Amino acid sequence: MKTITEFIASGGITSPRGFSAGAVSAGIKNSGSPRLDLAILFSEVACNTAAVFTRNRVQAAPIIVTRQRLREGKATAVIVNSGCANACTGEAGVKHATDMTEIAARHTGLSPEAVLVASTGVIGDCLPMNRIRDAVSGISLSVDGGHDFAMAIMTTDTVPKEAAVTVSGAGFSIGGTAKGSGMIHPDMATLLCFLTTDAAVDTAFLNKVLKQAVDVSFNMVSVDGDTSTNDMSLIMANGQGGGEMITEESINAAAFREALQQLCIRLAREIARDGEGATKLIEVTVKGARDLGDARQVARTIVCSPLVKTAVHGNDPNWGRVITAAGYSGVELDAGKLELEIGGVRLVKNGFPVSFKHADVVRKLEASEISIVLDLNLGNAEAVAWGCDMSEEYVTINSEYTT
């Protein structure tokens, strides 16, 4: 049976059947603040659940608690707060993260073990648990609450990141929301991402395809080269769409994998586009690499380069910065085989600069999306990475983050 993946207009985390969400302002970031900062995602039934976590050696309390809860690969709800990372808070932080799951469990009628927890915000602050306890009762869960959930998990984000896909012919949909704007870098990008599906998916397969999707999406995004203590990407599959359990050998396995990757790439691009102080999305494609690992390494190195990012911000066609970044990526290159295009304009062929009109490339760099394509001409592997320009506003945001 032919399957077609389509994005759902105004879709999000509650687009799949059986999921609801809600959020409230608990005043976590600032006492009395009207901003949504506490949210719950809920499934009508227990879900097979998989997650990928930050590789930072310093891990926040909610990461510790959620890792423990996911040993059996099951969850029914997630409680999330913004404004406080609950990181570097010791045993008290772990207790607070555990308390959050208990508070959400009472509100939803679940056992605490069925609830996961995530936090994002300033490192080193303790959660205002009294405010959280008082506020949870105000969270109303509904199918329409997905947008509020997306708003509540934002920190320096300027817009919520939401998307959903439906796979006709297979009878399931996948929804998601993510947050991330600063401290964004691979393994994993500094973000929270929550994904839901009404497909019935085997836990082992769910873990595998989530890691694959993260590798081609969130692990290919960089805003500033920093990774956080709180990064988490998780997916919950409740099976409410009916149909047989999807496993590695299932007829719908490939369709599920492809749909999940498309969704994650959409969210990853939006995270890069909304990087702190960003004015442009940068897409770097590396072609002709010996293998996928080399292609990814070169693409990520280029998109991470402060000199490339500032050149793009200033509309400066200083292509030597791209070649230089590729050269220090750690991947073996043949300088005499490199070919480079920016905005579709060829600048380098066979490792040698070609004639181009400076003004033409400047105009290309003035666009809101910038394409950089580097062909290594050493093999057939290809990878894409996303980032953003670096502006004066980035410095302003991060020099005044807590003041």
Q: Which stretch of DSSP H or E encloses residue 119?
A: strand 115-122
Residues of the domain holding 306: 281-399
Residue 109's CB is within 10 A of a number of other CB atoms, namely 10
* 252 and 296 both lie in a single domain: no
Q: Which element (helix H / strand E) includes 327?
A: helix 320-327
- Residue where one domain finishes, among candidates 230, 252, 273: 273
Phi, psi (degrees; rounded to nearest 5) at 154: -75, 145
Residues 227 and 320 in one domain: no
Query: Is 190 noted as a catalytic residue in this protein?
Result: yes
| pTM to 2 decimal places | 0.90
> Which CATH number does the domain housing residue 326 bear?
3.10.20.340
Q: How many domains does the structure of the chain reveal?
A: 2
Same domain, 124 and 68: yes
The pLDDT of residue 186 is: 47
pLDDT of residue 394: 61
- The residue among 246, 273, 300 that closes a domain is 273
pLDDT over 70 (residue 228):
no
3-state secondary structure of 258: helix
Looking at residue 50, which CATH number applies to its domain? 3.60.70.12
For residues 172-191, average pLDDT: 70
Catalytic residue chosen out of the listed positions 190, 203, 229, 301: 190
Whether residues 94 and 209 fall in one domain: yes
**Where residue 333 falls among pLDDT bands split at 50, 70, 90?**
very high
Both 210 and 322 in one domain: the answer is: no
Handedness of CA 263, 266, 272, 273 (dihedral sign): negative
Q: How far is CA 269 from CA 2, 36, 82, in A?
A: 28, 24, 21
In whole angstroms, give the CA distance from residue 138 to residue 387: 37
Where is the domain boundary, 223, 253, 273? 273
Residues 47, 129: one domain?
Answer: yes
d(CA 120, CA 182): 12
181 shares a domain with 321: no
3-state secondary structure of 66: helix
- The share of the chain scoring above pLDDT 70, in percent, equals 91
pLDDT: is 11 or 395 the higher one? 11
**One domain for residues 103 and 243:** yes
